[in-house]
A = this chain, B = another copy of it.
Amino acid sequence: MGKVFVIGIGPGEENYMTPAAKEGIISSDIIIGYKTYIDLIRPFTEGKKVIDSGMKKEIERCNLAVDLAEAGSTVALVSSGDPGIYGMAGALLEVKHERKSPIEIEVIPGVTAVSAAAAVLGAPLMHDFAVISLSDLLTDWEVIKKRLALAGEGDFVIALYNPKSKGRVTQIEEARSILLQHRKNSTPVGIVRNAKRQGEEMTITTLEEMLLHPIDMFTMVIIGNSNTLVQDGKMITPRGYHL
């Protein structure tokens, strides 16, 4: 009976991939993942069977991984960031359970996108924060809107995963409108594209002007709380120390 490693490779470059992630890939016979992520780990996949797969085929990928592990292989299912945060870990565990499969599954955590983006911006996550995905493919938009409002009311710093894609553009506008009911126009907002990997771009703007900047599916948006400030070009949420 084989095993599946669900591996988080972090932002994408070797510099932020943990030794545990590399070992998981190296000790696997077969590597499965979305093409972009597979390209990022080519140096470690030589001589292995590599299965590129498209987006939105998560369950197919999980079933394939379980099939291959049941046939005796060690399989690496590769995600960017941390597979435990909106990643493949959950779907794989669900598929294993549904199929009553006896295979072993090991989740290898990675540096998640919000950590990478925060490091680029400065230190926006020094206080309590909420992580919300704006993708309504699998979640009712009303639920997401309610969460945005409550996180706004609770003065959480708010990190938005999946803020916008080609076919999904209005959610970020609505999210901003909801948050403006609880935060000032001048609230700092950090926008980071390709955090801690090639092509990194970052902007620090405000809730008022955030939509003037490009946002896409490779972007993380972090909205400050009522104490967040911008100092020396960095976005900082004070923890409350007396300096």
Contact = CB atoms under 8 A, between A and B. Distances in A.
A109 B98 contact: no
Interface string A144-176: 101100110111100000000000000000000
Interface stretch (A37-45, A67-75, A82-90, A207-215): A82-90
A179 B127 CA distance: 20
B93 A236 contact: yes
Interface stretch (A10-18, A47-55, A198-206): A10-18
Interface string A98-119: 1000000001111110011011
Interface of A is mostly: mixed
A59 B127 CA distance: 17
| Contact-residue size bin, chain A (C-beta under 8 Å from the other chain) | 35 or more
A85 B128 CA distance: 9
Nearest to A139: B240
B109 A130 contact: no
Contacts of A237: 90
Interface in A1-53: 8, 10, 14-20, 23
A241 B138 CA distance: 7
Contact of A94 (B58, B91, B236): B236
A133 interface: yes
B93 A107 contact: no
The 8 closest A-B pairs by CB, nearest first: A90-B123, A138-B240, A90-B126, A150-B154, A89-B123, A107-B119, A109-B115, A84-B118
Interface of A: 8, 10, 14-20, 23, 58-59, 82, 84-87, 89-91, 93-98, 107-112, 115-116, 118-120, 122-133, 138-139, 143-144, 146-147, 150-151, 153-156, 196, 231-232, 234, 236-243
Given A89-B123, A96-B232, 5 more contacts: A16-B109, A85-B126, A86-B125, A93-B234, A94-B241
